[in-house]
Structure 1
């Protein structure tokens, strides 16, 4: 009896199983249409509600592939039939989604992040074939999962330094702020956080980046054919996109290292509707300085912090609002008498909307401020020297999707800038310092753009665009008049002209065409050619190789014309073994007009007529970039090599202004050879080892050729600029990461042990000369990191 009941039970259960069909969602309302059905949708993170930009949508029956746009949306044109859709996104579980298309309709897909196991770590962007299929050139996106695989610097994940491991991107030294991209200066990069420009992205003179990795989603660098929606800089755009908090539950991240700590908390304000993410990071590095034997360093102090607040409101599948607040602050006092400080503050409000199945909109407003100061408290001639920038603007972008292979985008932006170049305020009782203030500067910048991306069959793809930039230099201001046919100097000034509030002093405008063409040899290889023109209306006036808080930002005016950069690019791209290996080679040439150079012996501090200290220059840069990347397996990483040159030439009608006899000479950041090796090896599920090795040619420097006495003073004689070089740079960094997953023990979490500069290379940041009586000047080397520097950090998520 029991046997018969068991057989009956098995028979019924199998019968029920066999009769249960795979559930297919019916999409659309049945209107009898057979062809041309429009199926649209939006893909979001199941936990945070954040739109997944660049996710891949595949129709398996037709091999049709689509990539979601900036709002996470997609649109398919299908016939009336049954289909199996597949949704893929790096770091998320793949979703197989069967549907029955009976009419136009819309679906919503929620994807869940997967737990990374041995072969799931992908060091790349979103779509493994995007580098082959797209018309993008020189555009690289790194997710925070990728960046976190690199060895940390003193326990901190560093966004800026991670970008410097990519081909064509470099830094001038170990304590350098900003990036040098394809032969351009650090001021030629627009770094923006949710659309707001950030003018100094570093802590501690460049040793740390000022962006908290726990609040960053991904980072995209555009360095070749820059989309026409971006303007205002000559070399690159670094677009940093913040994370959104969870709309369903509260959570937190904590990290502690031997020099800094950070905390971030996120969760729903209105469940499933509005989320908040807050993060704060601070340093306690003074113990390290106070342990030094050097008395000046022992008596020095440094502090930094940064904070973020992000409110995200995905109120529907078609509308999402995001507000971002960002603040960073630094101060450094050397030997307890002089303090240097700088701070960034920004606010952004973004609205993304799907207006129809084909039309989408993105609107953004921002306000950003950068302040930098020097305080002297030595007791002799005490003073405060303050400078700053205020920048606020709005942007509007729209896109219209004609079809899966044809998209048009258009829009515009506007910004208003105020620069305070310097104000000197005496703070001591003595009269050794007199108050002084350099005139404020005002400028207005705007742009209109159009861009179209489309494919011509399976082989050809094209993207072309046009941007029209407009700029006005405004009063109030008193402007000097100079004698014609003579060099601009104090001695050739003949009068002054006064301009009222808002009155136009100078204006510039120009068309910036952008375009790229792709030819695919197969689904695994393609060749691309591109052209790009950029206008830049703000300049960093500095006689140092890297950004310093005391550098001067200057707007284009009647004497200083905007920089114009034309770039030509050619690239070949090939993926191997199912996109496990990705390779590329790109060559480029850049022509740069109106580069700013300074006269020999220029005085740049508190200069009300700085045009007398500057000369216009030409620039050119060219190079070849090689890139090999392994995306999957226990061992992942990339190798990059760049050969490049960055040159300058100053030719004017006046002999006293000509530099190096009018010959081409290396710029301050000309480093012909750059080589990087990045590797991460997964020993086990909870243990990984990573390493970074970098090598580069030493940057140019000017040595004194002789010394002479003048009025009882011993002075150095300099002849030709940037004729010598520092010794070559090379460094190895290692890190070991342990993931401890227990049952709530305190020590559960991520433990990272790292060593920066493993073999103690004394890479020179600069050379200086000490004058000794009766002998030639003695060269001295300044190394920022001259010994192996270990660190330990602990991070936990709950």
Structure 2
């Protein structure tokens, strides 16, 4: 036994020595010296400085024309025959390493890559498998690394995750101060945004001017907009999965960034050396000086504040087990000059366990808790009040994966969650008698889902991915539910009684199967055709008469009056790479059918509404479009161009003519923008200097203007006819940035200085248009522009 232990220690020492030296040939030796085939080489690729795993790095064996991409932890596996090989390790922005090895038996290695400066134009470095877009069965799955986002002009001095995604085809926003994303004709509530597996309900600061995620603690971001893997559910449009970084287990380090609008710092290092790491990040704004410098007296006398924080503790206790705890919080408040303050807060906890049960079998479990609370406060001294609302989301999920081979894998899993909503509570402040306490009934629901997915390839030409998910949902008491008269619209006047349900009692149940499938046919190594289908269910709705998320909006669960949203999407795409993957192109077309989309009645009252079903109407929707994408990956000039032609339409037909919208005809949704063009360019002037620019153009979003005005009881009232029949002026804007990397003698100046100019030519893009009265003249149209002038920013960032 002692001899065996000595031999094993010797072999482990040899593998460790191979990682830190560079001989012309290395032997990977393991527990089975005699095997000739099926030798497993596994390992992890890490950043030399921070120790964090590099997601999406490529591991290539040229002799076998074999390429693998590292997983979420930077891990990889290769199955080789007993022979000599040269393994290449590559990641964008890092030095490429070639490892000659002799594969004798199973072995494991740790590769540490060092960041490099791009000095030669002919150095070819890819941050992922350069042919993944051709060979995979993924449709509409987009992963952006932080290195890619750093090439974009920063928004007000910072990398903006959500705005970076909005530069891609099929993804848009309704304006310059809008939160969330509109993906392929879907509303912002139709996207599941999750950070470390926990859902986030409002991903914005300052009504959308900033994204509520600190890029320094984010590892990568993946958006699924077409065929969504079966392990995701609960939303009908898209999934945005944001993964945090893990701290280094070997040394301490961090990041610091200061700009003229905000500042942030992150710190990471070992809690227990080589076993447990911690990463913390904090960001805060100091933008009030800008508000106070503006000419508008209302804005000048307002105040805005926000902050967000992160904590990640990672414990890779062995090569087979890893635990990760993640905490996220964000807070905003905006005080108008009228003494009305709006605030909102996100809080999320998640705990994840990953286990490798065998060479082919893996297990993952995750539990989370999310709280989103928001409020409106009026402390003017006259009719003071406070309105509070909140959402609590508690759930867990697990995944069991089995790899039959390098080209065939299957994943099973399940998910359960409980959602509790306090829609609104009005609390009088002071002694005024004109405002009374009021509380909207709480809501509760639970969701559960089971799923499986199988991905496999048949030779080099064909690839398949198919899956099935079953979702079930229950709407729960305690609650008092109205009954309404038959053959009459739902209204206060048609109410005929009430039914009381006890706490936890099931009021309504929904469920359904959600199949997903995609097919890939490779025309050559550089081109392929893909076909996909996706069906998803959504049991929570954002009730709003605005085009973006606002703290005054109402989140509503499906009940016995409002069914779940159901989306069926069909996609077809052609993908082609040119000149050794330097150019990446694609064209995708899609059609999406939507059921039970929520619309509101004309003149609806949505805030503090105890029976909101009387204000809502179920609608049907359709969205279709074509997306063009061209990307240049290498050279001094890199970037991409994306163009989308799309339509997002709604239709409301009810048995009651007075409830029909636009006479039952199709009309544009609030976020319908037929033409959307984005041009991105980044030019490396020298090793230490780069210039980037973004130009965006889109059709103006639909709005409803009054057709006339009339006087009633001495009050002028507007008359509205058809909904969303007019549009705001077209949107276009140019942003520009210059980045300087200094390596001087002083530590303070050894960092990145970035100067950016948003809205270079001062375009006053209309966020909204409203009408004002003036004596002796007809009503005048007035335009609200968020960024009406060029907005400069200067930021300094350093790693330490």
- Do they superpose with TM above 0.5? yes
Contact 1:71 1:352 in 2 (8 A): no
**1:47–1:247 Cα contact (<8 Å) kept:** no
**Distance (whole Å) between structure 1 residues aligned to residue 626 and residue 478 of structure 2:** 46
Give the conservation status (yes or no) of the 8 Å contact 2:268–2:277: yes
* Residue 193 of structure 2 is aligned to residue 204 of structure 1: no
Larger deviation, residues 188-197 vs 91-100 = 91-100
CA shift in 2, pair 1:115/1:43, >3 Å: closer
What residue is the counterpart of 1:390 in the other structure? 392
Separation in 2 of the partners of 1:435 and 1:190? 34
Match of residue 328 from structure 1: 330
Closer, same or farther: CA 418–690 of 1 in aligned 2, 3 Å: same
The partner residue of 2:430 within 416, 428, 443 is 428
- TM-score for both structures, normalised by structure 2: 0.95
**Residue in 1 aligned with 2:770?**
768
- 1 CA distance for matches of 2:343 and 2:490? 33
**Aligned runs of 1:35-74 on 2, under 5 Å?**
35-74=37-76
Does the 8 Å CA contact 2:703/2:726 hold for their aligned counterparts?
yes
Equivalent-residue separation in structure 1 for 2:126 and 2:704 (angstroms): 40
Out of 138, 148, 151, the position equivalent to 2:150 is 148
- How far has the Cα of 1:378 moved from its partner? 1.3
Q: 1:281 to 1:32 in 2, by over 3 A?
A: closer
How many residues are matched?
778
User: 8 Å contact 1:27–1:107 — kept in the other structure?
Assistant: no
Q: 1:108 deviation in Å?
A: 2.3
Distance across 2 between alignment mates of 1:32 and 1:436: 77
The answer as to whether partners of 1:370 and 1:388 remain within 8 angstroms in 2 is yes
Residues 68 and 129 in structure 2, CA contact (< 8 A), matched pair in contact too: no
Match of 1:314 in 2: 316
Instruction: Give the structure 2 partner of residue 281 of structure 1.
Output: 283
| Distance in 1 separating the partners of 2:537 and 2:520 | 25
User: Structure 1 residue 108 and structure 2 residue 105: aligned?
Assistant: no
Q: Shift of the alpha carbon at 1:357?
A: 0.2
Query: Within 2, Cα distance between the matches of 1:123 and 1:170?
Result: 30
- Residue of structure 2 equivalent to 1:16: none
State whether residues 124 and 143 of structure 1, in contact with CA within 8 Å, keep that contact through their aligned partners in structure 2.
Answer: no
1:209-358 to 2 correspondence within 5 Å?
209-358=211-360
Are residue 482 (structure 1) and residue 509 (structure 2) matched? no
Task: Determine which of 779, 783, 786 is the counterpart of 1:784.
Answer: 786
Match of 2:673 in 1: 671
CA distance in 1, matches of 2:37, 2:749: 59
Does 768-777 or 588-597 show the bigger shift?
768-777
- For 1:598, the equivalent position in structure 2 comes to 600
How far apart, CA to CA, are the structure 2 residues paired with 1:607 and 1:123? 57
Q: Which residue of 2 aligns with 1:445?
A: 447
TM-score between both structures, scaled by the size of structure 1: 0.95
**CA RMSD, 1 decimal:** 1.7
Q: Deviations over 1:1-56 (max 9, x none)?
A: xxxxxxxxxxxxxxxxxxx9833223333454433444444444455444444333
Cα separation, partners in 2 of 1:744 and 1:317, compared to 1, 3 Å: farther
Q: 1:494 to 1:779 in 2, by over 3 A?
A: same
Distance 2:746 2:530 in 1: 52
What is the rounded CA distance, in whole Å, between the counterparts of 2:747 and 2:323 in structure 1?
Answer: 38
Distance 2:197 2:35 in 1: 43
Matches of 1:21 and 1:391, distance apart in 2: 54
Runs of 5+ in structure 1 lacking a partner? 1-19
1:524-557 CA-to-partner distances (Å, cap 9, x unmatched) read: 1101000000100110000011111110000001
Using the alignment, how far apart are the partners of 1:67 and 1:333 within structure 2? 48
Cα shift readout 1:301-336 (whole Å, capped 9, x = no counterpart): 111111111111122222221111111000011005
Moved more, 393-402 or 639-648: 393-402
* Aligned-residue offset at 1:746: 2.6
SS at match of 2:471: strand
Counterpart selection for 2:140 from 135, 138, 141: 138
- Tell me the distance in 1 between the aligned counterparts of 2:684 and 2:104: 47
Q: Per the alignment, do residues 295 and 69 of structure 1 end up closer, same or farther by CA in structure 2, a change over 3 Å counting? A: closer
Contact 1:125 1:140 in 2 (8 A): no
How many angstroms does 1:661 deviate by? 0.5
Aligned-residue offset at 1:475: 0.6
| Cα offsets for 1:729-762 (capped at 9, x unmatched) | 0000001111111123433311111111000000
State the partner residue of 1:751.
Answer: 753
1:205 match: secondary structure? helix
Which residue is equivalent to 1:493?
495
Q: How does 1:731-742 map to 2 (within 5 A)?
A: 731-742=733-744
1:505 and 2:512 are equivalent in the alignment: no
